[in-house]
Amino acid sequence: MATEGTKYQINFKTHKDGTLINIYADSIKELEVQITDISMIASLIKSTEAELYTGPQSAPAAPAAPTVASVAQQFNATPMAAPATTGGAQEVRDKYGNLWVYNLPEAPECARGKMVLKHGTAQATGKPYKGWFDPAAGPNWAGPKVPKEQQFHTIWA
């Protein structure tokens, strides 16, 4: 451990788990001896680290992009083929019966891309509604969960 009189300090951090190895010396000669000693047991340090390391062994491969069908299945939704006249729009009905329409050319943009038109019936009033929603709110969203308060505000249509 370093004291008030310590003149030299060298810190090494191991690659896998970030274990710190500290060398303290009062003279250049003492520092050279300690560095030489550490280098002589470096392979022992590496093998001990490998034995004790419990973290990931390598960077995980990026997951494949989910298909519309797999996302629809996860949300208990039924993908429907879009009518030819909608220019590539895709309709998905979620487990509550709401209709989500993706890829509409007139859709407003938000930070996560084109907003999604949602048609539904309000549970509280039984009245129909229609609005543009943040794509993170819809059944086809494949990214990380976005809390409602961080989603773009709904634009009522």
Per-position pLDDT tens, the chain of length 157 = 667 777 888 887 777 667 778 888 888 888 788 877 777 777 777 777 777 767 665 555 556 656 655 655 555 555 554 443 456 899 999 988 999 999 999 999 999 999 999 999 988 899 999 999 999 999 999 989 999 999 999 999 8
d(CA 15, CA 50): 10
Contact 133, 115 (CB under 8 A): yes
Where do the structural domains in the chain lie, given as residue ranges?
A: 8-52, 68-156
pTM, entire model: 0.46
